[in-house]
Structure 1
Amino acid sequence: MKFSTALSVALFALAKMVVADSEEFGLISIRSGSDLQYLSVYSDSGALKLGSGSNSFAATVTDDGKLKFDDGTYAVVNDDGSFKEGSENDAATGFSIKDGNLNYKSSSGFYAVKDDSSYIFSSKQSDNATGVAIRATSKTGSVVPDFSPDGVASSSSASSSSATKSTSSTESTKASTTISASSVSSAASSASSSTVVSAISQINDGQVQASNTVYEQTENGAVKAAAGMGAGALAAVAALLL
């Protein structure tokens, strides 16, 4: 048994260390009202550009925040901010997907630098640069789910968890109220004519409480208050005792 428990803990710890890459996506530029709208990221002799080239990339964000292309290369950042293809060892880190857009170092802003009939794909603003967003688009045309290498849960998951906790709390309250009411009713039914019983009151949230007023049933079945009797409370106790 001890071996089984230890093995389970080890496997769970190992599973947490293994984080899958993001879903594969295409890189489509977004700049409404310009010729940069809906261009693809592609390679031109190793330099990454935006255009309508036939050798456009599909990519994934890896579990360590690198942008990996479907030809096995990675996005590398030059000193001037422009991107090029390179090896995993030289790859830039800090990529993620948020709200359907590719992010680099927590920013969704990229730049297209005019270069003849195409644009150089860059992370820094410079002369002739125009800001663009890069939409992470799946093969079906929809945006891919958010992805962060740090493994932070999404807000939707947190909301779902909160809703589950709230539902469980409500069910527990209902069960508690039902048990309390049942117990009081049973005690009242078994009382004899000489039994002194506590008045029963019900507050707004459905909880059953005993008040400070004490009632006694006489031999002829009448109920009288020992102290502080109210007409409504008297009727409630009489109904329980009959």
Structure 2
Amino acid sequence: MQFINVASLLALASYVVADSESFGLLVIRSGSAYQNSGITKDGDILAVGGSDYVEGVIDDEGHFKVGDKYVSSNNGKFIVGDSKDSDFAIKDGYLTFHDSQGFTISDSTSRLSLPVGDDTTYALKAISKEGQSVSDFSPSGKKSDDKPASNNTSNTSSSIVPPIYTQTDNGAAGMAKIGLGAGLAAVAALLI
């Protein structure tokens, strides 16, 4: 009979890589036109609305992976492609980037970006297919030399957007029509 050395098992366990739960994103900002809207792709840029809800995971190095592509910040906009930013996490059920829960949405294009100056910020709730808030996730495999993207021209302070849950005209009813919308609609209904 062979026995496995406990120290060897612990060393092996330290190499196991885990991802977050799979999730979609729901915009939270009480009284806004975007309250309870889902995040989708507009070409290769993250935006609000549409029918192709973004669903992804955060890997153990802090990359936000959508299918076989990654989300990165390019001049403040969030692009889905081959480039990777490694400072995504889920904290208190909300997506964070560089420890900030604040994101902005362009009124003219509905595209998601990072806040600059006094921009209105929105929180992005991480929601499972079943409509539940996903567990918090902090990447443990993030390398110490990972730094924010050099082309990021925005303020990445750690201001937190407090969630205030209310229902607006564009809420759960509109979300029930599309993809991940069933799960997101269920959570939106719970937030009412």
TM-score band, normalised by shorter chain:
0.5 to 0.7
Aligned to 2:36: 38
Aligned to 1:23: 21
Q: Which runs of 4+ in 1 moved over 4 A?
A: none
Q: Counterpart of 1:75 in structure 2: which amino acid?
A: V
1:123 paired with 2:114, answer: yes
Aligned to 2:70: 74
Higher relative contact order, structure no. (Cα contacts within 8 Å, ≥ 6 residues apart): 2
Could you give the per-residue CA deviations for residues 75-96 of structure 1, whole angstroms, max 9, x where no partner exists? 0110x21101111xx2111111
1:91 paired with 2:109, answer: no
Whether the 8 Å CA contact 1:27–1:59 is kept in 2: the answer is: no
Q: Counterpart of 1:114 in structure 2: which amino acid?
A: D
Whether the 8 Å CA contact 1:48–1:83 is kept in 2: the answer is: yes
Could you give the per-residue CA deviations for residues 63-114 of structure 1, whole angstroms, max 9, x where no partner exists? 1001011x32110110x21101111xx2111111111101111111111122
Q: Name which of 59, 64, 85 aligns with 1:62.
A: 59
Aligned to 2:123: 133
Q: How far apart are the structure 2 equivalents of 1:47 and 1:146?
A: 25
Whether the 8 Å CA contact 1:82–1:124 is kept in 2: the answer is: no
How many residues get paired? 141
> In the TM superposition, what is the alpha-carbon distance from 1:15 to its structure 2 partner?
1.4
DSSP 3-state at the match of 1:130: coil
Matches within 5 A, 1:178-193: none
> In the TM superposition, what is the alpha-carbon distance from 1:39 to its structure 2 partner?
1.5
State the TM-score, normalizing by the size of structure 1. Answer: 0.54
DSSP 3-state at the match of 2:24: strand
Mark the runs of 5 or more structure 2 residues left unpaired by the alignment.
142-192
1:148 paired with 2:138, answer: yes
Structure with the larger strand share: 1
> In the TM superposition, what is the alpha-carbon distance from 1:12 to its structure 2 partner?
2.2
Could you give the per-residue CA deviations for residues 187-227 of structure 1, whole angstroms, max 9, x where no partner exists? xxxxxxxxxxxxxxxxxxxxxxxxxxxxxxxxxxxxxxxxx
Aligned to 1:188: none
> In the TM superposition, what is the alpha-carbon distance from 1:4 to its structure 2 partner?
3.7
> In the TM superposition, what is the alpha-carbon distance from 1:126 to its structure 2 partner?
6.0
Q: How far apart are the structure 2 equivalents of 1:145 and 1:83?
A: 23
> In the TM superposition, what is the alpha-carbon distance from 1:59 to its structure 2 partner?
1.3
Whether the 8 Å CA contact 2:25–2:125 is kept in 1: the answer is: yes
Q: Counterpart of 1:17 in structure 2: which amino acid?
A: Y
Matches within 5 A, 1:98-113: 98-113=91-106
Could you give the per-residue CA deviations for residues 116-161 of structure 1, whole angstroms, max 9, x where no partner exists? xx4111123268x43100000111211011110128xxxxxxxxxx
Whether the 8 Å CA contact 1:76–1:91 is kept in 2: the answer is: yes
DSSP 3-state at the match of 1:103: strand
State the TM-score, normalizing by the size of structure 2. Answer: 0.67
Q: How far apart are the structure 1 equivalents of 2:120 and 2:105?
A: 5
Whether the 8 Å CA contact 2:41–2:53 is kept in 1: the answer is: yes
Structure with the larger helix share: 1
